[in-house]
Amino acid sequence: MSTTETAPTAAGSGASATEAFRASSGGRAPGQVDHERVSTVVGAVLKGIHQAIRDEEVTYPEFQAAKEYLIEVGEGGEWPLLLDVLVEHVVEEVAARTQTCTKGSILGPYYLPDQARLDTPATLPQRPDEQGTPLVLSGEVRSTDGTPLARAELDMWQADEQGYYSGFAPHLPDGNLRGVVVTDDQGRFEISTIQPAPYQIPTDGPTGGLLEAAGWHPWRPAHLHLMVRAPGHRTVTTQLYFDGGEWLDSDVASATKPELVLKPADRGDGTFTVRYDFTLDPA
């Protein structure tokens, strides 16, 4: 990675992720507290922590360091990043138990709602000099019974060729490589974009600091994020990866699945094309 002064800092992207989360419906507190549920889940979490302390004979200095660390995560605005990287994949695994649609994957911290709505065939908004291998993703959105879903929405977001997300890196224009692509009357879509680079968790913040302290690498394989929606159907949140890509077998966020790996082919002019169909469960 280059070390120009425009390189986004963890503080910048982490704080923006906290703002974005608070602005989303995901941040809304439930209206009524289910005391029994809170007791059960929080009790189970604490039981796990208590047992880890016993098993590993955690010391007072380690306990105090943990408190200091957690304070830093909050002050740096990195709770969404830390939790999405280390925990979300198991929440997704549980959600997937009731899904028969296209395989899902984690949402992550960099989704932004209300992006440009684009009829298919669409090109994701990008800078005039956007770097990266051109990629055309096409396919169909269908219900699990095979019915094509007209005017389904593919809400897509991705990093650029340097691994940065618009909205979370000050040098990128708002809405860059983000868009909501609408399928045609036969449920088909075609989206032109560029192949993203692998994503590195910012190494200058507390999440990156923890990974470094543990000796774990900070990388996610290159990926496209998608949320696919259609009336009367359950929305699927997923990610698509690239065959042969670095970090595919050691994603720091544990969010890859073999069914989600694309194998784009050069159509002859340096543009890579690939087909991927999505199926949605009826609501």
Q: Where on the chain is the footprint of Fe ion (CB under 5 A)?
A: 108
Binding test (CB under 6 A) with ligand MBD, winner from 142, 178, 220, 233: 220
Point out the residue whose Cβ comes nearest to Fe ion. 108
Amino acid making up residue 198: P
Toward ligand MBD, which CB reaches closer, 142 or 157?
A: 157
Toward ligand MBD, which CB reaches closer, 92 or 153?
A: 92
Which helix or strand (DSSP H or E) is residue 193 part of? strand 188-194
Instruction: Specify the pairing of strand 117-119 against strand 219-220.
Output: unpaired
Residue 135, binding choice from Fe ion, ligand MBD, none, Cβ under 5 to 8 Å by partner class: none
Residue 160 in contact with ligand MBD, rule: CB under 6 A = no
Measured CA distances, 254 to 158, 241, 257 (Å)? 18, 13, 9
Residue at token pair 């669409």:
122
Shortest distance in whole angstroms from residue 116 CB to ligand MBD: 20
CA dist 191 and 89 (Å) reads 27
Toward ligand MBD, which CB reaches closer, 159 or 230?
A: 159
CA dist 150 and 183 (Å) reads 6
Shortest distance in whole angstroms from residue 108 CB to Fe ion: 5
How would you class 280 by CB atoms within 10 Å of its CB: exposed for 0-12, middle for 13-18, buried for 19 or more? buried
CA dist 253 and 105 (Å) reads 10
Residue 84, binding choice from Fe ion, ligand MBD, none, Cβ under 5 to 8 Å by partner class: ligand MBD
Using CB under 6 A as the binding rule, the residues of this chain from 130 to 159 that contact ligand MBD are none
Q: Which stretch binds ligand MBD (CB under 6 A): 71-79, 102-110, 129-137, 262-270?
A: 102-110
Residue 219 in contact with ligand MBD, rule: CB under 6 A = no
